[in-house]
Amino acid sequence: MSRNFRSAIFLQFMGTVGSGIFVLPYLFAKSNFLFASIFLVYLTFITSILNHFYVEIIRSTKGDHQLTGYAQIYLGLKFKLVTTLNLILLAFGAITAYSKLFQSFFWVLFPHNASLSAVIYLVVVFLLFIFHHKFQDNLFLFIPIFILLVPIILFCFSISNYGLPITNYVLPNFSFYGTTLFALSGFTIIPEVQETLGSNKKLSSVVFLGLLLAAFTYFLYAFSVIKLTGNLPSIDSVSGFSQTFPFIAITLAFFGMIITAKSTANFLIVIRELFYRDLKISLHFSQILPLFFPLVALTLTSVSLITVMSLTGHITIFVSAVIICLIRFKLPHNFTTLFVCLLVLFSLCFGLAGAIIN
């Protein structure tokens, strides 16, 4: 396995794993763990199709673009505007969720200095964003390996002390659906993955393996947290361990701060590329404008974490899927392509309808 291939897989993995990993245990327990796990597999399959369509679009188009640029090329200016607004909403929703979780984890580690959490969050995120190339070499291998190892160790600890089966008798419901979609969506990072890989030849394999690693990580983490908390995880899945397993709480809080800070920086890079490459804003302003996203996100103190992630997952992922499928139809296609596109859109539309009903 070449270094670029491995690095590209890890980048796709890190671009997918974000705040969703910490909320899924709560929602899986609330929705019936077995039922939610089955749909985790299904939604991973649906997301892999959507990612594959995006890879085909990237392969067939010259130049470096975000989804906004591809929408303009294939669908025109109106769709460029819709896609731009949707990506900005997706980024803002994700960053809002990251900021809330970061502050919650900071409180677990430093309960007497919780008022500093917002400042620390901004400082860490801005440093990662501005100097990400310098941090890349030192952190690139450490962070994804750390993200993989923590759920594996937690899983081994949970089954060695409490056994394998989970007895979760909650009636099945779809409250996990939108957040799971949000957690699996990593298409925004695919253009950056292509640059890291250096070619389009194995891009589909890299994107799929990164998604598969993310889904595997989500399952192990959700299982372990639900098992250790007796089907009663906290919303952030970390603070609930403070009394029963303080060492686990500290480890997971540190783990969470790394993920949320790095994921925020990744989204800021995507927004910078959107402004610079697709909206043709100067590089100087493209570096500055994304910094306002976490600043504004910190002001939304009254909006719940679950609401942010569910709405972001249902609405923005559905709109993105429609755009990607419409662009895919502009490329050579057959009946199978049409059928698969309809399957993807139906699956996402089903979740959106369920969110509106609930």
Tell me: pLDDT of 221 over 60: yes
Instruction: State the DSSP string of 295-335.
Output: HHHTT-TTS-HHHHHHHIIIIIHHHHHHHHHHHHTTSS--H
Judged against a pLDDT cut of 60, whether residue 289 lies above it is answered with yes
**236 has a pLDDT exceeding 80:** yes
What span, in angstroms and rounded, lies between the C-alpha atoms of 180 and 316? 13
Paired tokens of 69: 């640029």
306: CATH: 1.20.1740.10
The pLDDT score that the predictor gives to residue 137 is 54
Residue type, 313: G
- What pLDDT is stored for residue 141 in this prediction? 62
Band (73; pLDDT cuts 50, 70, 90): very high
297-351 confidence digits (pLDDT tens): 999 888 888 888 877 777 888 899 999 999 999 998 888 889 999 988 888 877 6
Q: Looking at the predicted structure, is the pLDDT value of residue 121 above 90?
A: yes
**SS3 of residue 244 by DSSP:** coil
Phi, psi of 284 (to 5 degrees): -60, -50
Terminal-residue alpha carbon distance, the chain: 46
| Higher per-residue pLDDT: 243 or 89 | 89
DSSP string, 157-212: HHHHHH-S-----PPP-STTHHHHHHHH--GGGHHHHHHHH-SSTTHHHHHHHHHH
Of all residues in the chain, the percent with pLDDT exceeding 70 is 95
Q: Name which residue leads in pLDDT, 175 or 151.
A: 151
Condensed to tens digits (0 to 9), the pLDDT of residues 180-218 reads: 888 898 888 898 888 888 777 789 999 999 999 999 999
Residue 254: what residue type? F
pLDDT band (50, 70, 90) for residue 356: low
Q: Which domain holds residue 230?
A: 3-357
- The whole-number pLDDT of residue 274 equals 85
DSSP 19: T
Report CA-CA distances (Å) from 282 to 78, 287, 299, 315: 22, 9, 28, 30
**Mean pLDDT, range 66-72, rounded to an integer:** 89
Sign of CA dihedral 217, 154, 105, 121: negative
Q: In Å, how far are 204, 244, 292, 357 from 253, measured between CA atoms?
A: 33, 15, 25, 34
Q: Of 226, 228, 227, 252, whose CA–CA distance to 238 is shortest?
A: 252
Model confidence at 57: pLDDT above 90: yes
* pLDDT confidence of residue 195: 84
179 pLDDT more than 80: yes
Count structural domains, the chain. 1
Lowest mean pLDDT across 26-30, 100-104, 161-165: 161-165
Q: What pLDDT, on a 0 to 100 scale, did the predictor assign at position 98?
A: 92
pLDDT number for residue 301: 83
